[in-house]
């Protein structure tokens, strides 16, 4: 007999379980999704998170010591006890495990005792690989309990769940970008000087193994002025070497054509504005990768590393979909991720790749707008997910 699921009403409750692996990407996605479902769809959301310290970096209002709290309409619970006891009434109508985390066994047992059963979704990581389309929404029966879990994949076409995007995001972006005075005021609030704003502004967010020193050398020795804006703690060794001192928020130094300025780590909404204000964005992981796509600016993605370089396959799958006719972006992206063919691994090579991509900036901006239109046709992840959860199965 098939498992009977709840048919969520407008008063739906939803729980998301998140374990922080990639510092800010995991919690960044779950936090955006939680807020959107609560504010736009009236869902009662509980977000379970194991690492409140990382969470607080992107949400300063959070109390990293509180076991339970409400922030921006979302109940946040510190996930510390895998073996806690739960009653069926503790279980939400929709239960989401992010990226195959193990929900507390006691909670799963309570899910099985709840009538009707909750909708159980495994929200997977974002990838452009072909196999995702065949796995999206596939069911998986629990081996022991009368529960069925469905795999749910964000993605880049209508055979997936689409990308995370709040309802008013693009209107807010357009208003910000249409007002250069407001954008300049925002950058000035981060310590950026008028002279630095006049240069090509690049935001830099990457993992420690990125070839940052070679990129900084390429910008320093280049023919046009570049201002690199890097959040505190990112690429610390390379940034400190360039600065000749501690890479604390507010530190800055100019060498040759390059100025590097260290920014404070900002809340998610201000990070969005940083992406909107810059000319090119280097982003990493999943959350900032998606936000760069909604910024409407050229971007270079630093993908989360996996054993045996499996992430290179994932990177190439995305580039095949996003940039089949943009060889300059593809070449720099592969080099940035250590996925280039053998050879050409010095600063001079990186300088050449940067110059080629920078020469294509206008074309890349046009492409970003066309890509955005394609993604809008799919619908956004939160609403697609909720529609699936409320559909009969």
Catalytic-role residue among 22, 196, 217, 286: 286
Residue 226, C-beta contacts closer than 8 angstroms, at least 6 positions apart: 199, 200, 202, 219, 257, 258, 259
CA angle 65, 70, 73 (to 5 degrees): 150
DSSP secondary structure, 111-148, as one string: HHHSSSBPEEEEEPPP---THHHHHTT-EEE-SSSS-E
Helix (H, G, I), strand (E, B) or coil at 68: strand
**172 given a catalytic annotation:** no
Q: Is the peptide bond before 75 cis (omega within 30 degrees of 0)?
A: no
Beta-carbon count within 10 A of 308 CB: 7
Q: What gap in Å lies between CA 138 and CA 124, rounded to an integer? A: 12
Catalytic-role residue among 26, 124, 217, 360: 26
Strands 148-152 and 226-231: unpaired
What are the tokens at 223? 């023919």
Q: Are residues 159 and 233 in contact, defined by beta-carbon separation less than 8 angstroms?
A: no
Q: Are residues 276 and 295 in contact, defined by beta-carbon separation less than 8 angstroms?
A: yes
Side-chain-side CA neighbours of 242 within 13 Å: the count stands at 30
Q: Which residue has the tokens 């970008």?
A: 177
**286 given a catalytic annotation:** yes
Give catalytic residue positions: 26, 286
């Amino acid at each position: 007999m098939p498992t009977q699921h709840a048919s969520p009403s407008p008063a739906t409750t939803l729980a998301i379980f998140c374990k922080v692996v990639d510092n800010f990407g995991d919690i960044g996605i779950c936090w955006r999704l939680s807020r959107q479902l609560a504010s736009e769809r009236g869902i009662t959301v509980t977000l379970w998170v194991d690492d409140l310290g990382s969470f607080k970096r992107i949400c300063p209002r959070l109390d990293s010591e509180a076991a339970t709290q409400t922030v921006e309409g979302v109940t946040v619970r510190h996930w510390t006890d895998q073996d806690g006891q739960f009653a069926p009434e503790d279980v939400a109508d929709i239960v989401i495990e992010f990226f195959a985390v193990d929900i507390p066994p006691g909670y799963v047992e309570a899910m099985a005792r709840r009538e009707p059963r909750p909708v159980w979704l495994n929200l997977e990581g974002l990838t452009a690989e072909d196999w995702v389309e065949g796995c999206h929404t596939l069911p998986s029966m629990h081996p022991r309990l009368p529960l069925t879990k469905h795999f749910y994949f964000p993605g880049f076409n209508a055979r997936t769940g689409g990308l995370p995007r709040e309802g008013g995001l693009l209107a807010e972006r357009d208003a910000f970008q249409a007002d250069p005075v407001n954008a300049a005021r925002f950058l000035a609030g981060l310590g950026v000087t008028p002279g630095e704003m006049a240069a090509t502004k690049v935001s830099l967010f990457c993992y420690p193994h990125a070839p940052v020193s070679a990129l900084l050398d390429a910008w320093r020795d280049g023919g046009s002025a570049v201002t690199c804006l890097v959040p505190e703690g990112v690429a610390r060794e390379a940034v400190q070497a360039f600065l000749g001192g501690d890479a604390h928020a507010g530190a800055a130094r100019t060498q040759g054509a390059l100025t590097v300025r260290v920014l404070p780590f900002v809340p998610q909404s201000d990070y969005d504005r940083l992406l909107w204000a810059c000319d090119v964005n280097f982003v990493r992981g999943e959350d900032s990768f998606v936000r760069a796509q909604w910024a409407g600016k050229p971007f270079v993605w630093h993908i989360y590393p996996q054993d045996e370089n499996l992430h290179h396959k994932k990177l190439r799958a995305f580039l095949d979909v996003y940039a089949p006719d943009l060889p300059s972006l593809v070449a720099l992206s592969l080099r940035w991720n250590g996925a280039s063919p053998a050879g050409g691994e010095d600063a001079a090579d990186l300088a050449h790749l940067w110059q080629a991509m920078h020469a294509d900036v206008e074309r890349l901006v046009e492409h970003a707008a066309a890509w955005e239109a394609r993604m809008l046709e799919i619908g956004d992840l939160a609403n697609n997910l909720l529609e699936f959860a409320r559909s009969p199965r």
